[in-house]
């Protein structure tokens, strides 16, 4: 990875670290605030309590991808694509789980929090997939 490519990927490195930090803070706030036990149907609670494990793996992958990108590793692009796909799946699942049961409509705070988190995941993923599959001199090429 040359220096100009590193300059182009600075935003990706930044978003990897910001997203990893935000994800950790989200789960810390979720459990420390007591929201995890507040007004949730049993099925939703079970689904929500399953998310910290894959999210922890995602945080490790995001930090690793950010470090590898900064170190100009040839594996950084591939790992960042895996992270983007993981984030896309997380955002879609968040909407899929929350909307049908009405859980995201409990309060305006829940709507804003859940909506923001899920939209962030989807936008982050699509932006990264477009950015990471872009080739110099071409619009988009094969991965």
The residue assigned the tokens 């997939």 is 129
Confidence (pLDDT) at 133: 78
- Cβ(81)–Cβ(129) below 8 Å: yes
Quick one: how many helices (H) and strands (E) in the chain? 6, 0
Confidence (pLDDT) at 143: 45
Q: With H, G, I as helix, E, B as strand and everything else as coil, classify residue 73.
A: coil
Whole-model pTM?
0.71
Q: How many CB atoms lie within 10 A of CB 124?
A: 22
Dihedral, 92, 98, 104, 109 alpha carbons, nearest 10: -60
Domain segments of the chain as ranges = 3-132
Give, for all 143 residues of the chain, the pLDDT tens digit: 556 656 667 887 888 898 889 888 888 877 777 665 655 556 566 666 777 888 889 899 999 988 998 888 888 888 989 999 988 988 888 777 766 555 555 566 666 667 787 888 888 889 888 887 776 555 554 44
């Amino acid at each position: 990875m040359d220096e100009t490519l590193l300059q182009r990927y600075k935003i990706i490195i930044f978003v990897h670290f910001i997203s990893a930090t935000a994800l950790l803070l989200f789960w810390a706030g979720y459990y420390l605030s007591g929201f995890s036990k507040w007004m949730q149907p049993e099925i939703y609670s079970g689904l929500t309590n399953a998310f910290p494990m894959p999210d922890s793996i995602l945080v490790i992958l995001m930090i690793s991808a950010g470090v590898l990108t900064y170190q100009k590793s040839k594996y950084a692009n591939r790992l960042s694509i895996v992270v983007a796909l993981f984030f896309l799946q997380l955002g879609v699942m968040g909407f899929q789980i929350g909307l049908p049961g009405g859980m995201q409509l409990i309060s305006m705070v829940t709507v804003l929090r859940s909506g923001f988190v899920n939209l962030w995941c989807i936008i982050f993923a699509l932006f990264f997939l477009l950015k990471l599959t872009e080739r110099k001199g071409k619009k988009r090429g094969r991965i």
